[in-house]
Amino acid sequence: MSKSTSQAAPELKRSLKARHLTMIALGGSIGTGLFLASGGAIATAGPGGALLAYSAVGIMVYFLMTSLGELATYMPESGSFSTYASRFVDPSLGFALGWNFWYNWAITIAAELSAATLIIKYWFPDTNSFIWSFLFLAIIFLLNALSVKGYGESEYWFALIKIAVVIVFLIVGVLMIFGILGGKSPGFSNFTMDGGPFHGGFLTILGVFMAAGFSFQGTELIGVAAGESENPRENVPRAIRQIFWRILIFYILAIFVIAMLIPYTNPNLVRGGLEDIAISPFTIIFENAGLAFAAAVMNAVILTSVLSAGNSGMYASTRVLWVLAKEGKAPKFLGKLNRNGVPINALLMTTAVGMLAFLASFFGDGVVYTWLLNASGMSGFIAWVGIAISHYRFRRAFKAQGRSLDELPYRAKWFPFGPIFAFIVCMIVILGQNYQAFLGDTIDWNGVLISYIGLPLFIIVWLGYKFIKKTKVIPLHECKLDPPTK
């Protein structure tokens, strides 16, 4: 064997199968947003308002994922958002989107680990948070350090547990609606009470609209996973096509069942949170159906969801950081791969940020969890805006360079409406993040700072790189449209 062959640089392994991508796409969108926050949405805007908000955001996410699907199928890259923006818009935007995405998910790891310590105290109320944070972080690190297949398999089973619970919940809920389980059928009484299904007016629905956006964050991880997919040209479109129906079944139908069975005036819907899994709408309905140990089961499922989110965050942020290093937009040492094709230095750096979760043991779990969540709140929507802009520019460049759409293995429908609609909706969510802070007699500047800090930070990074590197928007006829050769 020649020296050049024996010392060939290790590469990312294309080990993710179709079933892995399918579960990553689905698992990213099912979590505490559905199991916990859905009850608060119904309590805030009424059953009709919650369904309207989640349906609108679900449609937006569908268009966004078809845009990402077209890009990721034609050009499967682990850098995803960063790489596409650098190629089709401006390298400075790619730089800012890459670091924004890494920061968002690295902080999410810490936030999810803090959440896990809250959940585990359902069983072990007097134990030290540090111990649980360290244990969960070690598990997530090892799953990612072994190989990409380790991440794919763990996400597959995490997602399968969540799907099974939602399916059982829907079956039980439908049986209760028809009066077969849990006593007399409530009919549509919860939709007609106190003046109808909508409650609180337009601004209230807008608030739920934003909360719904947070619930769907994570679906974009399929764009990063495409770079290590076994056969992205077949597997990515298959996963994307199923997203719409999953959103419809798992979110819209679940919220409909909750709204049918629990009055939106029920105070437990507002109070549901990580500190009290017993009043999750899922737990309430399971208990009303006569299922024993419902709270313990839901606690375990929500713990699985939180660890799944942390696991995905570790994977995605590590890959994006590795690509940034490979493109010269991050320190070179972060571009190292081990023999299993894992970006080990990027993984170690991301894990170090995840150790922020350990602060929970010193400053109080709930406070730190909220602080970490606020710190990364807007970053996911900024990434979504980047996807919409990149796809719009990609298609225009494709046309400008005389390329045929028949070359695309997967074509997003409804172009250009899809990316434009997604862009507008995301901008509404970003700018209206904390509109309540401006409605009082005086502006709540502390609330404004907490809610909007991510936006000026992103703009500073974007324009700072643009100024230093003197980058410009790439003309459409100069955009690099050639997909990877391998």
Selected residue with higher pLDDT from 131 and 485: 131
In this prediction, residue 202 carries a pLDDT of 78
Determine the Cα–Cα distance for residues 119 and 153; give it in Å rounded to an integer.
24
Structural domains in the chain? Answer: 13-478 (1.20.1740.10)
State the burial class of residue 164 (Cβ atoms within 10 Å of its Cβ: 0-12, 13-18, 19+): exposed
pLDDT in tens, 111-120: 788 778 878 8
Determine the Cα–Cα distance for residues 381 and 245; give it in Å rounded to an integer.
22
Determine the Cα–Cα distance for residues 338 and 341; give it in Å rounded to an integer.
5
Q: Which of 47-51, 64-68, 148-152, 347-351 has the lowest mean pLDDT?
A: 148-152
pLDDT (average), residues 177-189? 79
Determine the Cα–Cα distance for residues 77 and 86; give it in Å rounded to an integer.
12
pTM of the model: 0.88
pLDDT in tens, 70-124: 998 998 887 778 899 999 999 999 999 999 999 888 888 887 887 788 788 878 8
Determine the Cα–Cα distance for residues 155 and 416; give it in Å rounded to an integer.
33
Residue 16: strand pairing partners = 229
Q: Is the peptide bond before 416 cis (omega within 30 degrees of 0)?
A: yes
pLDDT (average), residues 345-364? 77
Give start and end residues of each alpha helix (H) in 33-90.
38-74, 81-88
Please give the full DSSP string across 232-269, using - where no structure is assigned.
HHHHHHHHHHHHHHHIIIIIIIHHHHHHHHS-TT-HHH
pLDDT in tens, 139-160: 999 988 888 888 888 888 988 8
- Percent of the chain exceeding pLDDT 90 equals 24
In this prediction, residue 486 carries a pLDDT of 46
Most confident of 232-236, 279-283, 407-411: 407-411
Determine the Cα–Cα distance for residues 264 and 255; give it in Å rounded to an integer.
11
Q: Identify the band that residue 276 occupies on the pLDDT scale cut at 50, 70 and 90.
A: low
Instruction: Assess contact for 227 and 79: CB atoms under 8 A.
Output: yes
Determine the Cα–Cα distance for residues 131 and 302; give it in Å rounded to an integer.
19
Q: Identify the band that residue 442 occupies on the pLDDT scale cut at 50, 70 and 90.
A: confident
In this prediction, residue 363 carries a pLDDT of 67
In this prediction, residue 5 carries a pLDDT of 40
Determine the Cα–Cα distance for residues 401 and 381; give it in Å rounded to an integer.
30
pLDDT > 90? residue 485: no
Please give the full DSSP string across 308-354, using - where no structure is assigned.
HHHHHHHHHHHHHHHHHHHTTSS-GGGG---TTS--HHHHHHHHHHH
Q: In which residue are the tokens 């699907």 written?
A: 69
Determine the Cα–Cα distance for residues 383 and 456; give it in Å rounded to an integer.
14
Q: What is the mean pLDDT of the chain?
A: 83
Selected residue with higher pLDDT from 115 and 49: 49
State the burial class of residue 117 (Cβ atoms within 10 Å of its Cβ: 0-12, 13-18, 19+): buried
On the CB side of 316, CA atoms within 13 Å amount to 37
Determine the Cα–Cα distance for residues 32 and 399; give it in Å rounded to an integer.
42
Give start and end residues of each alpha helix (H) in 91-184.
91-120, 129-146, 148-177
Q: Which of 53-57, 192-196, 232-236, 345-349 has the lowest mean pLDDT?
A: 192-196
Instruction: Assess contact for 86 and 93: CB atoms under 8 A.
Output: yes
In this prediction, residue 38 carries a pLDDT of 82
pLDDT > 80? residue 134: yes
